């Protein structure tokens, strides 16, 4: 088994948008496979037609593509599930609903071997049993004891069994062995043992759907697709004994994959599973991409919220895994090299939305000013601002300055909109505070001073020098006159921005240029009446 090429799979059910926990499962599978030079396979587990949601499969594929963890097998380059076998995709189709014809014989093989049986109990009958058990504060399980009193091929005469099978309303259930200890190994949790007497005889096949259930299809496909390692969410841990028993029942123990069950992602307060509702309540996405359900309800996505996929992936990788060092920033390639299941934590991983933003900020700062300028130009275009009117390099210099204050490119607008749009209105409380006759008088003199000052056109090569020089001359002038620095600067800011906050005055003057700075001062001075001090 150790000599086999590593083959892992991500096997989501298309029941809705992929939760970020699901993306993490896919990511860990990807990292594990790539580190070993193996294959990452996508299989769509859609045997439960009642839970099928249109668009979910496409969403899953697009999410993996956005994250840069695209499967080697199962899906083609255009994003379609492969339906017929080809050299790169020998096990097609990879959608379980298209593999229907494969599973039946496996279910029947188990019946023939005496390891599974037909059951004919109706849903109503089983419900009645459940209620009865509940009334005695017990839980009903279809097991080695109750199976002897229920309607199945173990209790009914052969003829009756045949008649009921022909009638067509049956299931095939796994016959758990009695009082046996199943010994299992999990790559994260270590050795686990469980007595079969505690297990349910799970349904493997439903005649009503003409389809296998998750357990049978999953195990058969993992075997046929030569999967070497199964890495999945811990909600599947209770199914592990059954899966072990199924490998044994089919005689496939030699090639049974190794298993690893990942702990849950927890709410920011650590109390319970991270859900979409937490995201809505606390204002962060829990899905990689935006999703609109059939009722038209919109769920936000990391992509649409302005996250870089690299930041999202980096953040997810560290939610439950740690490198054993202080390093936090990892490219996908670095993750492939550093990842190990041994360093995946057993306990739940608490999601921290602030940390997610921090990761994006780190990636934003690592981007070149040229890339940021391109991204910001797209945001500005949406606001109706054509950046073609600005000289080359202008936006780069602005981005270099404002990226220090932002988590996302979308924040750039809030930080610097006034560079592109002169204020028309002014914040009332700031007007009250700063438009004293004294300040207004001083600003008029500052305007005259600026008029005579030599201010280079942005962008200039020595931007730092230009800004420092504006700053020096302006503050020097204010000091010389003995005016209060804060009052004059904030009044200027109010005139340039519309409120008394924003970038440094020298930076604003540099980016606005002399003409526009003076124009804004004269507009504001005309519009704002002095307040009595």
Whether 517 and 496 have beta carbons less than 8 Å apart is answered as yes
CB of 214 to ligand GLU, least distance (A): 6
CB nearer to ligand GLU: give 217 or 492. 217
Interactions with ligand GLU, residue window 235-274 (CB under 6 A): 236
| 5-13, 201-209, 285-293, 426-434 -> range binding ligand GLU (CB under 6 A) | 5-13
Long-range (24+ apart) CB contacts under 8 A made by 476-482 are: 477/446, 477/449, 478/442, 478/446, 481/442, 481/445
> Which one of residues 6, 7, 8, 12 is an interface residue with ligand GLU (CB under 6 A)?
12
| Burial category of 269 from C-beta neighbours within 10 Å (exposed 0-12, middle 13-18, buried 19 and up) | exposed
* 105 carries an active-site annotation: no
Q: Does 141 bind ligand GLU (CB under 6 A)?
A: no
Q: Are strands 171-174 and 203-206 parallel, antiparallel or unpaired?
A: antiparallel
CB nearer to ligand GLU: give 258 or 377. 258
CB of 231 to ligand GLU, least distance (A): 8
CB of 238 to ligand GLU, least distance (A): 12
Whether 401 and 428 have beta carbons less than 8 Å apart is answered as no
| 10-18, 316-324, 448-456, 510-518 -> range binding ligand GLU (CB under 6 A) | 10-18
Question: Among the options 100, 206, 276, 514, which is catalytic?
Answer: 276
> Which one of residues 19, 89, 232, 357 is an interface residue with ligand GLU (CB under 6 A)?
232
Whether 233 and 26 have beta carbons less than 8 Å apart is answered as no
Does 183 belong to an annotated binding site?
Answer: no
Task: Give the residue among 455, 453, 467, 451 at the shortest CA–CA distance from 398.
Answer: 467
| 11-19, 78-86, 325-333, 341-349 -> range binding ligand GLU (CB under 6 A) | 11-19
Whether 489 and 505 have beta carbons less than 8 Å apart is answered as yes
Q: Does 96 bind ligand GLU (CB under 6 A)?
A: no
The phi and psi torsions of 406 (rounded to 5 degrees) equal -120, 155
| 8-16, 184-192, 442-450, 502-510 -> range binding ligand GLU (CB under 6 A) | 8-16
CB of 15 to ligand GLU, least distance (A): 7
CB of 299 to ligand GLU, least distance (A): 18
Rg (CA), the chain: 33
CB nearer to ligand GLU: give 218 or 416. 218
Query: How big is the CA angle at 261 (ends 349 and 249), to the nearest 5 degrees?
Result: 165
Interactions with ligand GLU, residue window 43-62 (CB under 6 A): 45
Q: Are strands 298-299 and 291-292 parallel, antiparallel or unpaired?
A: antiparallel
Please give the structure tokens belonging to residue 235.
Answer: 């909600």
CB nearer to ligand GLU: give 12 or 212. 12
**Rounded-to-10 torsion of CA 510, 513, 516, 518:** 80
> Which one of residues 6, 8, 11, 95 is an interface residue with ligand GLU (CB under 6 A)?
11
Q: How many CA atoms lie within 13 A of 449 on its CB side?
A: 18
| 7-15, 75-83, 179-187, 205-213 -> range binding ligand GLU (CB under 6 A) | 7-15
CB of 246 to ligand GLU, least distance (A): 12
Q: Are strands 39-42 and 181-186 parallel, antiparallel or unpaired?
A: unpaired
CB of 26 to ligand GLU, least distance (A): 10
b or e along 66-90 (b: 16 or more beta carbons within 10 Å of the residue's beta carbon)?
A: bbebebbbbbbeeeebbeeeeeebe
Give the interface with ligand GLU as residue ranges (CB under 6 A).
11-13, 45, 218, 232, 236
> What are the catalytic residues?
276
Q: Annotated binding site: which residue ranges?
A: 276
Q: Annotated binding site for ATP: which residue ranges?
A: 276
């Amino acid at each position: 088994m150790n000599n086999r090429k590593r083959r892992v799979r991500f096997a989501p059910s298309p029941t809705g948008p992929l939760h970020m926990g699901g993306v993490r499962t896919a990511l860990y599978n990807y990292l594990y496979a790539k580190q070993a030079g193996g294959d990452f396979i996508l299989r769509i587990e859609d045997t439960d037609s009642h839970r099928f949601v249109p668009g979910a499969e496409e969403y899953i594929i697009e999410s993996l593509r956005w994250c840069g963890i695209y499967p080697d097998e199962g899906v083609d380059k255009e994003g379609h599930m492969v339906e017929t076998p080809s050299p790169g995709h020998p096990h097609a189709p990879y959608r379980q609903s298209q593999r229907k014809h494969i599973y039946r014989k496996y279910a029947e093989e188990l019946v023939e071997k005496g390891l599974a049986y037909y059951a004919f109990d109706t849903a109503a009958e089983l419900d009645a049993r459940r209620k009865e058990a509940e009334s005695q504060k017990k839980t009903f399980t279809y097991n080695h004891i109750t199976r002897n009193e229920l309607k199945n091929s173990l209790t009914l005469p052969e003829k009756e069994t045949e008649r009921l099978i022909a009638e067509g309303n049956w299931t095939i259930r796994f016959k758990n062995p009695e009082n046996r200890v199943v010994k299992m190994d999990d790559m994260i949790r270590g050795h686990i043992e469980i007595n079969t007497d505690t297990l349910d005889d799970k349904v493997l096949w439903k005649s009503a759907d003409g389809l296998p259930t998750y357990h049978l299809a999953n195990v058969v496909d993992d075997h046929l697709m030569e999967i070497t390692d199964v890495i999945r969410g811990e909600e599947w841990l209770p199914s592990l004994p059954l899966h072990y028993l199924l490998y044994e029942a089919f005689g496939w123990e030699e090639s049974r994959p190794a298993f690893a069950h990942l702990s849950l992602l927890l709410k920011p307060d650590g109390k319970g599973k991270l859900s979409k509702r937490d995201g809505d309540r606390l204002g962060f996405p829990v899905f990689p991409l935006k999703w609109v359900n059939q009722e038209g309800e919109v769920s936000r996505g990391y992509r649409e919220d302005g996250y870089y996929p690299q930041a999202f992936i980096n953040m997810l990788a560290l939610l439950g895994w740690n490198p054993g060092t202080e390093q936090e920033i990892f490219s996908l390639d670095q993750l492939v090299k550093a990842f190990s299941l041994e360093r995946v934590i057993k306990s739940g991983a608490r999601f921290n939305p602030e940390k997610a933003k921090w990761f994006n900020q780190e990636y934003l700062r690592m981007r070149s000013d040229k890339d940021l300028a391109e991204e910001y130009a797209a945001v500005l275009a949406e606001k109706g601002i054509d950046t073609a009117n600005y000289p080359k390099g202008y936006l780069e210099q602005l981005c270099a300055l404002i990226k220090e204050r932002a988590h996302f490119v979308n924040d750039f607008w809030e930080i610097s909109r006034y560079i592109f749009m002169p204020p028309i209105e002014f914040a009332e409380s700031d007007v009250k505070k700063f438009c004293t006759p004294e300040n207004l008088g001083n600003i008029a003199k500052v305007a005259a001073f600026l008029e005579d000052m030599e201010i280079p056109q942005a962008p200039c090569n020595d931007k730092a020098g230009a800004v420092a020089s504006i700053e020096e001359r302006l503050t020097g002038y204010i000091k010389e006159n003995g005016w209060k620095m804060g009052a004059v600067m904030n009044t200027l800011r109010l005139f340039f921005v519309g409120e008394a906050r924003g970038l440094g005055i020298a930076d604003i003057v540099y980016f606005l240029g002399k003409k526009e700075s003076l124009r804004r001062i004269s507009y504001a001075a005309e519009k704002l009446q002095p307040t009595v001090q």
